[in-house]
Structure 1
Amino acid sequence: MPGEYILTYFPVRGRAEAIRMLLADQGQEWTEDVVSGESWQKGDLKKLCVFGQLPRFQDGNFILYQSNAILRHLARNHGLYGQDAKEAALLDMVNDGIEDLRVKYGHLIYQNYESDYCLLDILHVHLVLAPNCLASLPLLAGYVQRLNARPLLKDFLESDARKKRMITGNGKQ
């Protein structure tokens, strides 16, 4: 039986949300130790954290850092880590792929929002497949409109060569 769970993180979903979702789905209770940005900036807690990062997860007397290590710990303890080592390895592979995506997302959100052509490309694909998909997402719709309006990019997007180029080999344009 696991000990008392305490999750220490900022007042956002971020890296702790998957942990919260796993705990909730498994019917587990936990205590949230919410860290304000102001408190974190003081540096006292950061100095105590392994790698200087949150989330911090406490399972009784056992303390872990790094969100994916916490998820694997909980998955093992709650029978969610596959039937054998091969299934666990496949789960690790998928999680590592998701981590790659999360890193790209972080780069986009915090560092390079206006020049991330990969996001624009995937949104264009979504708009072909589901033309109204951004109707309820004004920030993403605005992002697409702003980038589409850049003169050189606009010329490229409206070019005959691009219009003729299929999205994939299945015939979608």
Structure 2
Amino acid sequence: MAGKPILHYFDGRGRMECVRWLLAAAGVEGVLMFQQVPMVEMDGMKLVQTKAILNYIAAKHNLYGKDIKERAIIDMYSEGLLDLNELVLYYPYLSPEEKDKSLAQIKEKARNRYFPAFEKVLKGHGQDYLVGNRLSKADVHLLELVYHMEELDSGILANFPLLKALKTRLSNLPTMKKFLQPGSQMKPLEDAKCVTMVKAIFS
């Protein structure tokens, strides 16, 4: 039996965070090692590049759709979500004078662009998940983003009842419930050295 995947990153949120969420959804525990680049050691490989890591985990654990069409839609949703999520993850590392402007931009994009789009998807097909009525990496990325957005604005889902229901449904899955227990989530870092590292990674 293979050991737990080893996640190489710093002790805080960044581009590895979405990998941690996807592994959690798949029911796989990872061991976090603190290095300067995102890398996952699993199945005898040293995987780098966040999207490649996510795609491998999703394909291995049946979180990537049933055919090429579903994969294309999952990729489309995931790419969009990662665009906004990166803004959210980078926000704590901004200077105080940059934060107000950035927060307003993040909330505006969430309320007027991203969340309405996914609310429409859920309303359009009336299913429990975004694609193919089964859990996919797109659902997991959306759940992660919702949690991070609620840290910035607790009422962000007020006008999105289907997203709120999706959050509740996904959060109650046994694998996600375990992952979401207090103490399992990474927090943004305040240490100056780590902030410099994050800025280098995101730039």
Interval containing the TM-score (normalised by the shorter chain):
0.5 to 0.7
Contact 2:84 2:106 in 1 (8 A): no
Question: C-alpha separation between the residues in 2 aligned to 1:34 and 1:25?
Answer: 22
2:111 is the counterpart of 1:115: no
Which residue number corresponds to residue 82 of structure 2?
Answer: 99
What is the correspondence of 1:67-78 to structure 2 with a 5 Å cutoff? 67-78=50-61
Question: C-alpha separation between the residues in 2 aligned to 1:124 and 1:73?
Answer: 31
- What RMSD, in angstroms, separates the aligned Cα atoms of the two structures? 3.2
List gaps (5 residues or longer) in structure 2: 113-149, 155-203
Give, as a single letter, the amino acid of the residue that structure 1 aligns with 2:73.
L
**CA-to-partner distance for each residue in 1:122-143, whole Å, 9 max, x for gaps?**
7999xxxxxxxxxx97x869xx
2:63 is the counterpart of 1:80: yes
Which residue number corresponds to residue 8 of structure 1?
Answer: 8
Question: C-alpha separation between the residues in 1 aligned to 2:111 and 2:32?
Answer: 39
**CA-to-partner distance for each residue in 1:95-132, whole Å, 9 max, x for gaps?**
1101221343356444432333424657999xxxxxxx
The SS at the match of 2:16 is: helix
Contact 1:4 1:60 in 2 (8 A): no
Question: C-alpha separation between the residues in 2 aligned to 1:61 and 1:81?
Answer: 21
What is the correspondence of 1:125-136 to structure 2 with a 5 Å cutoff? none
The SS at the match of 1:15 is: coil
Question: C-alpha separation between the residues in 1 aligned to 2:22 and 2:53?
Answer: 11
Aligned positions, number: 113
The SS at the match of 2:11 is: coil
Contact 2:14 2:89 in 1 (8 A): no
Which residue number corresponds to residue 34 of structure 1?
Answer: 34
Once the two structures are aligned, what percentage of the paired residues are identical? Answer: 34
Higher mean Cα deviation, 111-120 or 7-16? Answer: 111-120
TM-score (structure 1 length as normaliser): 0.52
Which of 34, 37, 47 is the matching residue for 1:64? Answer: 47
Offset of residue 59 of structure 1: 1.3
**CA-to-partner distance for each residue in 1:7-34, whole Å, 9 max, x for gaps?**
1111013222222222223222322212
Question: C-alpha separation between the residues in 1 aligned to 2:68 and 2:51?
Answer: 17
The structure whose RCO (Cα within 8 Å, separation 6+) is larger is: 2
Give, as a single letter, the amino acid of the residue that structure 1 aligns with 2:33.
D
Question: C-alpha separation between the residues in 2 aligned to 1:97 and 1:4?
Answer: 29
Give, as a single letter, the amino acid of the residue that structure 2 aligns with 1:118.
Q
